[in-house]
Amino acid sequence: MAIIVDRDTRLVVQGLTGSEGRFHGLRNRNYETNVVAGVTPGKGGQNVEGIPVFNTVADSVTETGANTTLIFVPARFATDAIYEAVDAGLGTVICITEHIPAHIGPNCPGVLSPGKANVGIIPAEIFTEGSIGLVSRSGTLTYQIGHELTQLGLGNSTIVGIGGDPVVGSSFIDVLERFESDPETELIVLVGEIGGDEEEKAARFVQEQVTKPVLAYIAGFSAPPGKTMGHAGAIISGSAGTAQAKKEALEAVDIEVGTTPTEVAQLVADRFGART
């Protein structure tokens, strides 16, 4: 099985008629994700290359049995879009929209279960099916590590981008708990960043609740204290939130931390007995 998205996913794309929603919605469908509907208020009755468009999420659920949504609406409408999806009974809401106010959050690159479903903007072609679960705050680093693993002949069960903002929809702990319960996931890679204390919380959770091996990478070792580095969540003050502090917290519970994405991939390969 996969976590979050799989072959049973029935996807509605909120904002399918917009340029980004159309591009990625069709791209996800081309990956054989079951995209059953789009939603754009006032454009109900239209279609995008055969995908029916509805005025409301509730209508799309009633007519198509959608169970997952992908949000590409402009930032000023995204909060309402999230609430509308939840009110319609959708259990999985994946929001790609950027520039949502930080106190509301969140945004992410999406979720990919190789060979089963791709929901979001993750470049699925660089990943292969396998037994490595990957959860990350950074989209770009997710792609790089996925590519490195593929080059080593290793694949992923599910890749989850949780985003790097201070308010997230799903935390490291939420995803780690699912990977721990997933029989197809043998090993977990956690990709963190400077700022906040999510990695430290994850370390405590791994120590208490996770039996599977966990490896990690932390971005931002060269970031100076007191600076905001890209993501709204990446703010460090003194020693709190630094890459070194996170590395030490993870290593204290026997989570090996690679110094580069390439090294992390090699550490994973070593665990699987694969050598370059």
Domains located in the chain, CATH noted: 1-101 (3.40.50.720), 127-276 (3.40.50.261)
Contact 11, 70 (CB under 8 A): yes
The whole-number pLDDT of residue 275 equals 43
- Which active-site residues does the annotation give? 231
Mean pLDDT, all residues of the chain: 90
* Residue 108: CA count within 13 A, CB half-sphere: 26
The whole-number pLDDT of residue 153 equals 93
pTM, two decimal places: 0.90
Give the model confidence (pLDDT) of 145-181 as tens digits: 989 999 999 999 999 999 877 777 899 999 999 999 9
The whole-number pLDDT of residue 199 equals 92
| pLDDT exceeds 90 at position 36 | yes
The whole-number pLDDT of residue 224 equals 63
The whole-number pLDDT of residue 240 equals 55
The whole-number pLDDT of residue 127 equals 95
Cα dihedral 262→138→85→41 (10° resolution): -110
Q: Which two tokens stand for residue 124?
A: 């699925």
- The whole-angstrom separation of Cα 54 and Cα 156 is 34
Query: Mean pLDDT throughout 111-132?
Result: 96
The whole-number pLDDT of residue 71 equals 97
Give the model confidence (pLDDT) of 191-218 as tens digits: 998 888 889 999 999 999 999 999 999 9
